Amino acid sequence: MAFRRKFNSILIYKPDILIIPECEEPFKLRMASSGLNPTNVIWVGSNPNKGLAVFSFGEYQVRLKKSFNPAFRFIVPLSVKSKKDQFELLAIWANNPNDPEGAYIEQVWKAVNYYEKKIRVSKMIIAGDFNSNSIWDKSSRIGNHSDLVSKLARRGIHSSYHLANSIVHGKESHSTLFMYRHLNKGYHIDYCFMSSDLNSRLEDVYVGEFENWKKLSDHVPLVVKVSDLNR
């Protein structure tokens, strides 16, 4: 929240695409901020202080797809284009307490099943705050974290962090959330899944350090660098 007071800390990475859950709506950013200067902003939400925002920078253009289904609330299908590249992006903030069947990973599971029939391109990124990890799987419910990982793998879509670190889900050595901003309450719940044609160009995956970010958020950034997609 209050991204207008924090964005300079993430802009040092010179992002092309930036996904910010719990972000205030663009009007508040424009009124209060200078120096952000995105090319495009897509924001969804009902609370002006707390929605899901996707920013593009430089030559990258991001567009909301007509297939967007508000039933999934903060899971948003986007087209991303530049002069050299084009891909589909499913931006994630898994958080829908109004769904009695499940507020978090269940939302991602439903959305992926819904949108996969509408997404025909080969290049695909699914990224953001999933609010999930295999350590919390409920075997009695279809659509847990491991089910999602397996489903995406069958389409050649894998978590870049796990590929880069040769690690399985549930055994992560880096946390992306520190609950209540406590170092000893760390969990890995933020992901960037990419299709094989993008992961084949994977250059680096970086997870921010707790000490550097604890004053700004209970999350740290997950930064994924892909060749030919970055300036």
Contact 148, 107 (CB under 8 A): no
With a cut of 50, say whether residue 79 has pLDDT above it. yes
Q: Which pLDDT band, with edges at 50, 70 and 90, does 18 fall under?
A: very high
Report the chain's mean pLDDT, rounded to a whole number: 92
Structure confidence by residue, pLDDT tens digits, 151-177: 999 999 999 999 999 999 999 999 999
Collapsing DSSP to helix, strand or coil, 145 comes out as: helix
Backbone angles phi, psi at 76, to 5 degrees: -125, 120
Contact 21, 93 (CB under 8 A): yes
Enter the pTM of the model: 0.94
Q: Which pLDDT band, with edges at 50, 70 and 90, does 121 fall under?
A: low
Is residue 231 domain-resident?
no
Is residue 215 domain-resident?
yes
Q: 142 or 106: whose pLDDT is higher?
A: 106
In terms of phi and psi (left: phi > 0; alpha: psi -120 to 50; beta: otherwise), the region of 22 is left
Is residue 151 domain-resident?
yes
Contacts (Cβ under 8 Å, ≥6 apart) of 227: 201, 202, 203
What is the rounded radius of gyration, in angstroms, for the C-alpha atoms of the chain? 17
Q: Which pLDDT band, with edges at 50, 70 and 90, does 231 fall under?
A: very low
Least confident piece of the model among 29-38, 83-92, 122-131, 179-188: 29-38
Structure confidence by residue, pLDDT tens digits, 29-51: 776 667 888 999 999 999 999 99
Is residue 90 domain-resident?
yes
Structure confidence by residue, pLDDT tens digits, 168-222: 999 999 999 999 999 999 999 999 999 999 999 999 999 999 999 999 999 999 9
Number of compact structural domains in the chain: 1
DSSP H or E run through 176? none
Least confident piece of the model among 54-58, 87-91, 118-122, 203-207: 118-122
Looking at residue 14, its pLDDT comes to 94
The CATH number of residue 94's host domain is 3.60.10.10
Looking at residue 120, its pLDDT comes to 64
Contacts (Cβ under 8 Å, ≥6 apart) of 6: 216, 217
Is residue 147 domain-resident?
yes
Instruction: Tabulate helix, strand, coil % of the chain (nearest 5).
Output: 25, 30, 45
Q: What domain range includes position 217?
A: 3-226
